[in-house]
């Protein structure tokens, strides 16, 4: 059996800004027209997020795909911990606060300043700042990464204004809270899968060392850069807030640092820079002796970071575990940008394998260019690897992720995203031929929407680029030239796929999984 995850390709009949519908994709259209197909939920409560107003994302999507169950995720976990007060009684919070109080030092917050609920939520930051003042913290500095990807493309000033209003309200003779540095999330700090350590290096220099172009405040920096570079928020250069030529928020010995992103993939590398003494990815110049923690532990196998405020979901009884128990030989492949999704997130936030003899993972290195410049990305190379593995006869279950619809969709370029979808379809054509040649069953799905809504209507009825994920369902398609499978009527989500796969493989599935669709 072969599972193809078309990252970021949702389904909607609305043609406005719909790069999926606009794309020439004969193979996908044929599959959806002639073979068992249903649309399934890939957002909100179906993937463990607080409400159905919350967009899905690749991480929670692949958790659901790979474990067949729905766990409280990201924002929901943190919401619960803040609301019931457990975060503030945790050993890590007490350590963070106690360090600053005893040393009269500064508490720093680093993270994505938005309410996209994919990597972070500004409300979590605001709640922690309020609590910090209540507990005797004298100085807070925020190092704000600008979004424009999971929220509107040029909405950064709204979030800066929101935070500045809170800080102005809190600031008095006993408390000084300010934004100290920042930059676009695709320029500094938030690299993932070690694709571009220079981003992390630039973030370290900005947040820790106070190196960068200086401004009086964050609003000035954003406004200036927008005029100068004409880019959306995620691509804004780094900046440092200074007074009289001196940065107001460098990170020093005896300070505490909270990385308030809850999603792990783009938090791991900056966590390494703070946590690891033996670190050689770039020259840190100096490593301040601080109490550092993450909102969650971003990698359980690496114990990274050592300190974290909210325990992540303990995902058990995953699909890979079950297949290993049944001696099913597995293969996973994607390019760097989504490699961790078919391995780490798929296996329940675990970096390793359940059985190295039965599982093979293959990574195709991604290009280091803006994805709208090469919207085909490494789809052809991923297809080469997948077909080679299929024809080897070594594997029973193979899975692949094509990142194109998501990564190119995030750039806001409609034309590039249409090409991205067409590139995936071309690869599906090749995969389908290999499926026939190897007598395999093909499953085609997606982890969330993105390319299906590339435009949104702004004030006055004008159209503007939309770079965030969507709330649209995703396709689930079964192609089997030997048998026409019947899909049961019902309302399904990504977590139903695991049981469906095992049923197609002729296996029972654990009782705690969501039900099979066939």
**Residue 171: partners with Cβ closer than 8 Å, 6 or more residues away:** 177
**Residue 327: partners with Cβ closer than 8 Å, 6 or more residues away:** 358
Q: Using CA atoms, how far apart are residues 375 and 287, in angstroms rounded to an integer?
A: 38
CA nearest neighbour of 132 among 91, 88, 164, 173: 88
**Residue 207: partners with Cβ closer than 8 Å, 6 or more residues away:** 108, 110, 143, 180, 181, 189, 249, 251
Distance of CA 355 to the CA centre of its chain: 26
**Residue 437: partners with Cβ closer than 8 Å, 6 or more residues away:** 391
Q: Using CA atoms, how far apart are residues 153 and 146, in angstroms rounded to an integer?
A: 10
- Residue 460 is classified by DSSP as G
Q: At what angle do helices 122-134 and 74-83 cross, to 10 degrees?
A: 30
CA nearest neighbour of 414 among 468, 451, 359, 378: 451
* 372, two tokens: 């709208």
105 in active site: no
Active-site pick, 33, 51, 58, 370:
58
Radius of gyration of the chain (CA): 23
Tokens 């990698």 belong to residue: 299
Confirm if 46 and 70 have CB atoms less than 8 A apart: yes
* 223, two tokens: 């406004």
**Residue 469: partners with Cβ closer than 8 Å, 6 or more residues away:** 8, 43, 55, 56, 57, 118, 150, 406, 448, 449, 450
Q: Using CA atoms, how far apart are residues 272 and 386, in angstroms rounded to an integer?
A: 32
Q: What are phi and psi of 332, to 5 degrees?
A: -130, 140
Which residues are tagged catalytic? 58
């Amino acid at each position: 059996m072969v599972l193809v995850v078309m990252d970021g390709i949702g389904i909607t009949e609305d043609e406005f800004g719909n790069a999926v519908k606009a794309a020439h994709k004969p193979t996908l259209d044929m599959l959806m027209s002639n073979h068992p197909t249903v649309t399934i939920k890939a957002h909100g409560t179906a993937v463990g997020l607080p409400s159905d107003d919350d967009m899905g994302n690749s991480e929670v999507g692949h958790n659901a795909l790979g474990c067949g169950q729905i766990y409280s995720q990201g924002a929901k976990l943190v919401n619960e911990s803040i609301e019931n007060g457990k975060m503030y009684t945790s050993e890590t919070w007490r350590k963070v606060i106690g360090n600053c109080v005893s040393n009269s030092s500064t508490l720093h917050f680093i993270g994505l300043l938005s309410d996209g609920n994919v990597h972070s939520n500004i409300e979590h930051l605001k709640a922690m700042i309020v609590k910090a003042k209540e507990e005797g913290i004298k100085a807070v500095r925020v190092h704000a990464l600008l979004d424009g990807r999971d929220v509107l493309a040029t909405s950064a000033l709204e979030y800066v204004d929101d935070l500045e209003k809170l800080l102005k309200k809190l600031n008095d003779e006993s408390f000084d809270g300010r934004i100290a540095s920042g930059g676009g999330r695709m320029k500094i700090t938030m690299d993932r899968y070690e694709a571009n350590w220079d981003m992390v290096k630039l973030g370290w220099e900005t947040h820790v060392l106070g190196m960068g172009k200086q401004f009086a405040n964050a609003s000035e920096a954003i406004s200036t850069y927008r005029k100068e570079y004409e880019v959306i928020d995620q691509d804004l250069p780094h900046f440092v807030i200074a007074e009289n030529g001196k940065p107001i928020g460098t990170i020093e010995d005896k300070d505490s640092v909270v990385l308030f992103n809850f999603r792990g993939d783009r938090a791991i590398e900056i966590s390494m820079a703070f946590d690891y003494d033996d670190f050689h990815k770039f020259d840190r110049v100096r490593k301040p002796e601080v109490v550092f923690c993450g909102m969650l532990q971003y990698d359980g196998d690496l114990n990274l970071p050592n300190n974290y405020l909210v325990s992540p979901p303990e995902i058990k009884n995953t699909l890979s575990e079950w297949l290993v128990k049944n001696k099913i030989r597995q293969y996973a492949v994607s390019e760097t940008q989504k490699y961790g999704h078919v391995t780490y997130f798929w296996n329940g936030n675990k970096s390793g394998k359940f059985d190295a003899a039965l599982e093979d993972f293959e990574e195709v290195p991604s290009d280091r260019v803006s994805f709208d410049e090469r919207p085909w990305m490494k789809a052809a190379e991923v297809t080469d690897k997948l077909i080679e593995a299929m024809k080897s006869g070594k594997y029973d279950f193979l899975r692949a992720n094509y990142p194109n619809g998501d990564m190119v969709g995030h750039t806001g370029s409609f034309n590039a995203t249409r090409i991205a979808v067409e590139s995936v379809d071309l690869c599906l054509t090749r995969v389908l031929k290999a499926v026939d040649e190897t007598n395999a069953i093909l499953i085609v799905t997606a982890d969330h929407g993105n390319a299906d809504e590339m435009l949104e209507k702004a004030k006055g009825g004008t159209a503007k680029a939309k770079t965030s994920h969507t709330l649209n369902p995703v396709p689930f398609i079964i192609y089997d030239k030997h048998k026409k499978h019947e899909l049961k009527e019902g309302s399904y989500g990504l977590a139903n796929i695991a049981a469906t796969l095992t049923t197609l493989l002729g296996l029972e599935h654990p009782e705690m999984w969501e039900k099979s669709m066939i």
